[in-house]
Amino acid sequence: MSEDRMFMRRIAVIGSGYVGLTTGACLASLGHRVVCADVEKTKVARLSAGEVSIREPRLAELVAQGLAAGRLRFVIGASAAVPDAEVVFLCVPTPMGAGGAADLTAVESVVAEVRELLPAGCVVVNKSTVPVGTAARTAQLLARPDVAVVSNPEFLREGSAVEDFLKPDRIVVGCEAQDAAERVAALYSRLGAPTVLTDAASAEMVKYAANCFLAMKLSYVNAVAELCERLGADVLDVTEGIGYDRRIGQAFLQPGPGWGGSCLPKDTHAFLQVSAAAKFDFELLRASLDTNSRQQARMMDKVRDAVGGSLAGQRIGLLGLTFKAGTDDLRDSPALAVAALLAAEGADLIGYDPSVRAAVPGMTDDLQITDDPIKVASGAAALVVLTEWPEFRVLDWGLLAELVERRVVVDTRNLLDADVLRRVGFEVRGVGRRATPAVEPSAAIQAESSAVLSYDQSSQLPHARSTACRWRG
Ligand code: UGA
């Protein structure tokens, strides 16, 4: 048998959403034969035609390659995917249920649907983020002693999910039956990543412990940023200084309007629930959530201060609505949370985001969406950067300066080149930094044209620091 045939496994992926589709397409690209199932007929039809609606670099390309090579196909319903499978991945949603606990309805209904159809000796793998003990519960529900249940959490970030899958920092596989864990780990052997083989409960715990650590790291940095403002220090220099310590690292140290998205908030709440159920008061984690709410409120305070003390009736232009750049995901977006706080104080909001074309349910009704970033400036008493889209750095700030009522920007992501903005007359208020006052108009006019050209466009993100994006010269 060729090496490829020995490596190749027949895999079913149940749930063709964000995690399932990435998992299926990437496993197919590694050489496995993958059948992805979903309950939505139109989604299955579109995916079968190679149409990928999720905004994720390289995902459509891998789906097209998988379809063309015959290694990837899509079917309606879990029961159509499993009869021939050696490994069945569960990639169904586990949303936040009552009181913050993970809602396992989707996992349970798939288990009920497939339990009698699974081939003898196959392995069921839970990829969804589920409370510790779910693998054991799944095994109980399956009641199939010949089928092992393995936990293999995903660590994919939106916007770099394919890259994260194919170049993982680690693979974590947990099961009491070591041979089943090894079979799952072998699916990824071509990736050459460090692999942690453990029991199911520990693997389930890794996912929560990792996401909650990241959330705590961000709350810590946001708290440090607040202290920097009070003590006159610069958070960018502070985080650079601490980040060189290899035990801390430079990643995930950007202060912002608070952390959000479909994972960190859901998982911190769920981990708190898990802790409470185990009669453990996880104070540190609770404080991280409180700090996050405080950070959102602090951003509103900054805007209120910027417009002179009252938001009532003030037109505020918002730049960025998604929970981070590079995605169209608005779930639990801190930008929307800040918008809701501003609206509650009577602000009149207009927002632009490169990936959002219309209002969605859950958005405050007082927010008007525009498809033109220039329009957010018309008559605005303040502009507020809420998502770190690199293109905001190269807007025509000279033109925006002509349109606003008051030249002040609250930059909650420390994204903009304050030197450039101040030369066209803007005062810039960041997070964890001293405010940068505008330059006198005469000096501003002289410097305006060359300033716009001085953006360092290669530094796409605020943390890719260069002298061009430093506030201090
Ligand atoms: C997160 C984790 O990073 C992934 O490892 C994990 O697999 C995923 O959740 C999941 O559980 O599925 P994601 O939700 O895509 O990934 O987003 P992140 O890139 O982690 O960003 C989360 C939030 O933190 C965003 O609001 C982002 O703007 C904010 N953030 C991130 C900062 O404010 N500063 C930073 O330095 C980094």
**Residue 80 Cα, ligand 1 centroid: separation in angstroms?**
34
Q: Residue 363: what pLDDT?
A: 83
- Residues 130 and 224: their CA atoms lie apart, in Å, by 32
Q: What pLDDT score was predicted for residue 215?
A: 98
pLDDT, average across residues 238-253: 97
Atom in ligand 1 nearest the alpha carbon of residue 334: 26
What crossing angle do the helices spanning 200-231 and 134-142 adopt, rounded to 10°? 150
Q: Is the pLDDT of residue 471 over 50?
A: no
Measured from the Cα of 207, ligand 1's closest atom is 11
Alpha-carbon distance 195 to 182, whole Å? 10
Task: State in Å: Cα 264 to ligand 1 middle.
Answer: 7
Amino acid at 94: T
> Is 263 touching ligand 1 by the criterion CB < 6 Å?
yes
Residue of 26, 122, 263, 469 marked active site: 263
Q: Is the pLDDT of residue 55 over 90?
A: no
Domains annotated on the chain, with CATH: 3-198 (3.40.50.720), 199-460 (3.40.50.720)
Q: Using the 8-state DSSP alphabet, how is residue 469 labeled? A: G
The Cα 13–Cα 22 span in angstroms is 10
SS3 string, 400-433, reads HHHHCCCCEEEECCCCCCHHHHHHCCCEEECCCC
Q: Is any atom of ligand 1 closer than 6 Å to the C-beta of 431?
A: no
More confident residue, 470 or 318: 318
pLDDT of 443 reads 56
Ligand 1 binding pocket includes 288 (Cβ within 6 Å): no
Instruction: Report the alpha-carbon distance of residue 109 to residue 181 in Å, rounded.
Output: 24
CB atoms within 10 A of CB 187: 24
Q: 252 CB less than 6 Å from ligand 1?
A: yes
- Model confidence over 181-239: pLDDT tens digits? 999 999 999 999 999 999 999 999 999 999 999 999 999 999 999 999 999 999 999 99
Q: Residue 209 has which token pair?
A: 């412990």
Hey, is 197 helix, strand or coil? strand
Strand partners of residue 364:
none
**Residue ranges in 188-263 assigned as alpha helix (H):** 200-231, 235-243
Angle at 74 between CA 69 and CA 79, to 5 degrees: 130
- If DSSP states are collapsed to H, E and C, what string results for 62-80? HHHHHHHHCCEEEEECHHH
Q: Tell me if residue 263 is catalytic.
A: yes
Is 188 a pocket residue for ligand 1 (Cβ < 6 Å)?
no
Residue 471 near residue 419, CB atoms below 8 Å: yes
Residue whose tokens read 């709410």: 293
Contact 222, 255 (CB under 8 A): yes
Give mean pLDDT, residues 331-354: 97
CA-based Rg of the chain, rounded to a whole angstrom? 24
pLDDT reading at 251 higher than 60: yes
CA distance to 134, 223, 254, 257, 288, per residue, from 235 (Å): 41, 10, 9, 14, 19
Name all contacts of 446-450 with Cβ < 8 Å and 24+ positions apart. Answer: 447/423, 448/398, 448/423, 448/424, 449/398
Q: Rounded to an integer, what distance in angstroms lies between the CA atom of residue 219 and that of residue 291?
A: 6
Average pLDDT value for the chain:
91
Task: Tell me 439's DSSP state.
Answer: P
**Nearest atom in ligand 1 to 260's CA:** 26
First vs last Cα of the chain: how many Å apart? 64
- Provide the percentage of residues in the chain whose pLDDT is more than 90: 83
pLDDT digits (tens, 9 = 90+) for 42-52: 999 999 999 99
360-419 residue pLDDT tens? 887 888 899 999 999 999 999 999 999 999 999 999 999 999 999 999 999 999 999 999
> Is residue 19 over pLDDT 70?
yes
Q: Which atom of ligand 1 is nearest to the CA of 129?
A: 11
Q: Classify residue 53 by burial, with Cβ atoms within 10 Å: 0-12, 13-18, 19+.
A: exposed
**Measuring CA to CA, which residue among 397, 440, 399 is closest to residue 421?**
397
Given this model, what pLDDT does residue 457 score? Answer: 37
pLDDT at res. 118? 97
Given a cut of 70, whether residue 438 has pLDDT beyond it is: yes
pLDDT of 2 reads 74
Q: Are 132 and 28 in contact (CB under 8 A)?
A: no
CA distances from 174 to 32, 85, 196, 328 (A): 21, 20, 8, 33
Q: What pLDDT does 440 receive?
A: 65
Centroid of ligand 1 to alpha carbon of 412 (angstroms): 16
- Is 308 strand, coil or helix? coil
Mean of pLDDT values over 320-334: 95
Residue from 263, 291, 388, 465 whose mutation best tests the ligand 1 pocket (most atoms within 8 A of CB):
263
Q: Do 461 and 390 touch, CB atoms closer than 8 A?
A: yes
- Reply yes or no on whether the pLDDT at 424 is more than 50: yes
pTM here?
0.90
Tally of CB atoms within 10 A around 17: 15
The SS3 of residue 356 is: strand
Q: In what order do the strands lie in the sheet with 123-126?
A: 72-76, 33-38, 10-14, 87-90, 123-126, 148-151, 171-174, 195-198
Per-residue pLDDT, 450: 42
The answer to whether the CB of 321 falls within 8 A of the CB of 330 is: yes
CA distance 203 to 151: 6
- Neighbouring-strand partners of residue 74: 36
Q: Which of 93, 52, 58 is nearest to 74 (CA)?
A: 52
Residue 362 is predicted with a pLDDT of 76
The C-alpha angle 283, 286, 292, rounded to 5 degrees, equals 140
Phi, psi at 317, each rounded to 5°: -95, 125
Contact indicator for 412, 389 with CB cutoff of 8 Å: no
For range 73-95, the mean pLDDT: 95
Q: How far apart are CA 116 and CA 111, in angstroms?
A: 9
pLDDT at 14: 97
146 CB contacts (<8 Å, ≥6 apart)? Answer: 120, 121
